[in-house]
Structure 1
Amino acid sequence: MRFLLLSLGLCLLLSSCREEPKINYSATKTADFSTAAVAGPHPLATKVALKVLQNGGNAIDAAVAMQFAMAVVYPRAGNIGGGGFLVYRDADGNSEALDYREQAPAAADRDMYLDEEGNVVQGLSTRGHLAVGVPGTVAGIAEMHRKHGSRPWKDLVGYSIDLAMNGYRLSQSEVGRIKRYHDDFAEFNKSTPFSDTTVVEGSLIVQPALAATLRRIRDKGAAGFYKGKTAELIVKEMKSGGGLITLEDLANYKPAWREPISKDYKEYRIISMPPSSSGGLCLAQMVEMLEPYPLSDWGFQSTPAVHTTVEAMRRAYADRAEYMGDSDFYPVPLDSLLDDDYLAGRMNDFREDSAGTSDAIVAGLEAVRESYETTHISIIDAAGNAVSITTTLNGNFGSKVMVDEGGFFLNNEMDDFSAKPGVPNMFGLIGKEANAIMPGKRMLSSMTPTIVEKDGELFLVLGAPGGSTIITAVLQTFLNVTEYGMPLAEAVNAPRFHHQYLPDVIVHEADALGNGVKEDLEKMGHQFRETKYMAVIKALQRLPEGTIVAAADRRNPDDDVKGY
């Protein structure tokens, strides 16, 4: 069997994008594979997943090995000190979701980031030891392997240990990020492998402390992280900087299997993540609100298509702010928020010729910022099992705190709670009581790992990093394929726009909303803010004859696809 590997650079593409008004959005990292495929954020980690598939492992096996490999070679976002979500569909069409989001420590309280006057203390929930939630990644990986893995745990973890001991070479983009956060590393750590100011492109990074941590996980499973030596190192690190996590917090952490969010859209069925993620719920709401409108007739990023899509985004994010949080702690009204009549009613005040205002759009039911430094992987194996996984540390290198002698960064996910209801987090997202801090509670997320069926058959596997823009990027990629007829690579790399209720602006990439569309929308009352780029999609599409198309995003030069 012929194995195809693809790892294409983007320098030529990005150069041409700056010089040419028209961009070939399909000229990026993409390939067709006959049997299995992986799309991920780093070529070395993607290569590990491919090896597992080639050796007869299934999609879960590949995901397990790949997630640990990312903790080694992608330290700004790949992690064992964070958390994430899995959406899984087996070859028979059965689907489920695993929530291994971080939790607030038992000593956390709703006002822990407020000063004496009740105002949010800037930086307290984003930097340093107090920003850290109880990590869920290792427990989540162990649980998905327990239920669906087919290859020995020790073998799958072993790939990451080899990478940590043998080292990997830094890319230019990684060097830039390391230098950018040097002062943060120095402030919160005695030393890290990434605090050396002499690092340059090609520098070899060897991580013996991380390798030792991974060996404990290899030998003892989740207990090798949540108990014993590693747990003691985490707690010691917490005490050194005023953090809250205790041995009891670690020992008590459990991931949760949940029923996925499902929503039909024409001949398609969207399967996505439920709370504690808002992603699947918002995505389902938006497609339902948009289904009655002739998007394909209007055309890609035409004035009416953008206007209507923005107004659906505005309404979904308003509901996100009011109603969404950890469903184990707050009665998220899922049935009501997904009700077809309710969602049709959400667009009753939509006007085709004028922008709505977020002051006027409130949550529709009666009362009863993830960063770009997230990772996503999409995998389809030879049997047809599909995995969509998004994990995160939240910000670049999370809290900037590395566990001394442990070799891994800890998250700053506590910022994804509503530090003060109504006050935006680092991504400008508003939350209310549903997402207030409580001990043991999971913070609300925008991560949107998603699988799409067409006429009951596997069709798309996709997701992204990108903070609050994840949900709208997944939406637009889906619509680009299904409504605007784009090949997958073009759909992934097409320019994007975003609206999240508050602030009341359309955020857009520089090459979006051309041909007078932005001017038309301004006349309708919309306001704008330009951004360099948004979420970074990794996607797979299974064609009717069985070919798998893999596409990675031009927005991240490290993205990679592999398959056979």
Structure 2
Amino acid sequence: MPGMIVAPQPMAVEEGAKVLAAGGNAFDAAVTAAAVQGVIDPHSCGLGGYLVLTAHRTGQTAPEPIIDAPATAGSLVTADMWQDEILSANPTGWGYFLKDKVNDNGYRSICVPGMVRGLAEIVRRYCTRPWSDLLQPAVRIADEGWPISAGKAASWKEPADYPEDSTLREKLHTTAESRRVWLKPDGSTYEAGERFQHPDYARTLRRLAEHGPEDFIAAGWRAKWLPTCRRTAPGSRQRTWLATKRAQLRPRSSTTAATKSSQINRRTAGRHWRKF
């Protein structure tokens, strides 16, 4: 059937288009494209983030419910925990600048992810293809690698808009794990055209594909991830993730009625598209 795939990264568009061409529906294609997008553009989306779906199906008269799977604050967060660390409001409207950038860099800036729960809800409600099949393109690309785009390479070198703000490069340097995954041995970022492989992410996606989304909140995952997220310097809590063992991987999703504005304001989320 006629259709169009739109995403910020061309490879995500192509993989989504393959799903449509093979007989999948628009929701099948969206799940695959989103999973691939999370591999190639992980600083903007991915399994550690959140998901919102607004949809309109052909011939439908009543608004389709919005699927909202937010990345929520950890259970150890309190309303006044950073009250004494505020430097100033962010002029862009995105919250506040804090001392040592604790709300932007490192483990204390991490929210409890909702992306997997949101994708699972889309598959349950709308998809025609198996969960495992929809994730396979993302598994393959993470495992085999992909060429770094000029835009991504440039983003790793961009300066901050404000002195109190964090650069993407600074975020990558904050923890030992992020340095190991994203930087070269000499501490530099990858250049445009260089091939990048992400075997850790490939293993995560492969397990998700094989065991299903509910495995994401199983005890085995918590036991594996918690030690990394809770490593602290002796006598310090500066690098502790703000979620308890019980609540850290309990992503939630909900559905709400679509509003008129959400149906009218259908903004294109990227510049790369394919029509067929």
Question: Which of the five TM-score ranges fits, normalised by the shorter chain?
Answer: 0.7 to 0.9
Higher-Rg member (1/2):
1
Seq. identity, %: 23
Match of 1:187 in 2: 174
Q: Check the 8 A contact 2:31/2:119 in 1, yes or no.
A: yes
After superposition, the Cα gap between the structure-2 partners of 1:223 and 1:246, relative to the gap in structure 1 and judged at 3 Å, is farther
Q: TM-score, normalised by structure 1?
A: 0.41
Q: Check the 8 A contact 2:182/2:189 in 1, yes or no.
A: no
Q: Report the AA paired with residue 110 of structure 1.
A: A
Match of 2:218 in 1: 227
1:132 aligned onto 2:110: yes
Q: Report the AA paired with residue 252 of structure 2.
A: K
Corresponding residue to 1:214 among 202, 205, 220: 205
Cα distance, 1:52 vs structure 2: 0.7
Match of 1:145 in 2: 123
Cα distance, 1:208 vs structure 2: 0.8
Cα distance, 1:41 vs structure 2: 0.4
- What secondary structure, in the 3-state scheme, does the structure 2 residue paired with 1:115 have? helix
Q: Check the 8 A contact 2:5/2:273 in 1, yes or no.
A: yes
Match of 1:562 in 2: 274
Match of 2:72 in 1: 103
Match of 2:241 in 1: 243
Partners of 2:250 and 2:148 in 1: CA distance: 36
Q: Report the AA paired with residue 107 of structure 1.
A: L
1:339-488 equivalences in 2 (<5 Å): 451-452=263-264, 462-463=266-267
Corresponding residue to 2:4 among 21, 25, 37: 37
Q: Report the AA paired with residue 36 of structure 1.
A: G
Partners of 1:116 and 1:158 in 2: CA distance: 44
Corresponding residue to 1:164 among 121, 129, 142: 142
Q: Report the AA paired with residue 188 of structure 1.
A: T
Match of 2:234 in 1: none
Q: Report the AA paired with residue 68 of structure 2.
A: D
Partners of 1:90 and 1:116 in 2: CA distance: 47
Match of 2:29 in 1: 62
Q: Report the AA paired with residue 462 of structure 1.
A: R
Which structure exhibits the higher relative contact order, with contacts defined as CA atoms closer than 8 Å and separated by 6 or more residues? 2
Q: Report the AA paired with residue 167 of structure 1.
A: G
Output one character per residue of 1:255-298: Cα deviation in whole Å (capped at 9) or x when no partner.
Answer: 00111112xxxxxxx4x2xxxxxxxxxxxxxxxxxxxxxxxxxx
Q: TM-score, normalised by structure 2?
A: 0.81
Cα distance, 1:118 vs structure 2: 11
- What secondary structure, in the 3-state scheme, does the structure 2 residue paired with 1:104 have? coil
1:175-324 equivalences in 2 (<5 Å): 175-180=153-158, 181-190=168-177, 191-196=179-184, 197=188, 199-240=190-231, 241-262=239-260, 270=261, 272=262
Cα distance, 1:216 vs structure 2: 1.3
Q: How many residues align?
A: 245
Specify which structure has the higher proportion of helix. Answer: 2
Q: Check the 8 A contact 2:19/2:29 in 1, yes or no.
A: yes
Runs of 5+ consecutive residues of structure 1 not aligned to the other structure: 1-33, 263-269, 273-450, 453-460, 464-536, 539-551, 553-558
